[in-house]
Structure 1
Amino acid sequence: MSDYMKVKKSKKLPRLPLRGNIDFTFRCNNNCRHCWLRIPTDSQERHKELTIDEIKAVADEARSMGCQHWSISGGEPMIRPDFADIFDYITRRSVSYSLNTNGTLITPEISRLLRRKGNK
């Protein structure tokens, strides 16, 4: 057996999951023809969304299992009035994150939050 294989076998594997994907909502303020998710802003689907406490619980559980990286999306995640609170909570102890947004709902508050969080 090569030395490489000996070293490779002896390394401890990281706990899983390392990466989490979360959609804050299925609603969007655009109606793009190319998008697979075309649910209007005022749709009844909003009543099926997770609450902020449920999202925090999911994030905490994933974090306890080793999740360090988050992919945040939706619909348009910024359509939620509590977006800033959820985003801040999820990314607070994350190594990195990605945010998929159309950018049309960035407010001064969200802009300051994104600047404070920086690129991770």
Structure 2
Amino acid sequence: MDWLSDIADEDPEAAELLAERFKDEDPPVKPLPWCMWAWRAWHRLKHDRQWRGGGMGPAMPSGIPYSSVAAYADRHGQDADGLYLLIAAMDGVYAEWWDEQVEAASKKD
């Protein structure tokens, strides 16, 4: 975490607090250069994602709709079907991660 060393130089106490806060988190994902276009699209389309009610629990994320992916791909001159496959795969990983977060939070309560 390079940013943490920058903060440590300026304010060692703040760096300690931040290090403690982020110690259990996974390191940030650094996509390979060839897939940055899909990574960027997935992040830009995150607000098109529907959330379904969780009943007695928190809302759960749905996948980003094909219509949103196709519109984005058309606008940016990309292959809609190929982009959708990549985004659907990322959505699957995101849904698993979300489930893990909900499970961990329920164990803390």
TM-score, normalised to structure 1, is 0.23
Which of the pair is proportionally richer in helix?
2
Compare relative contact order (CA 8 Å, sep 6+) and give the higher one, 1 or 2: 1
TM-score, normalised to structure 2, is 0.25
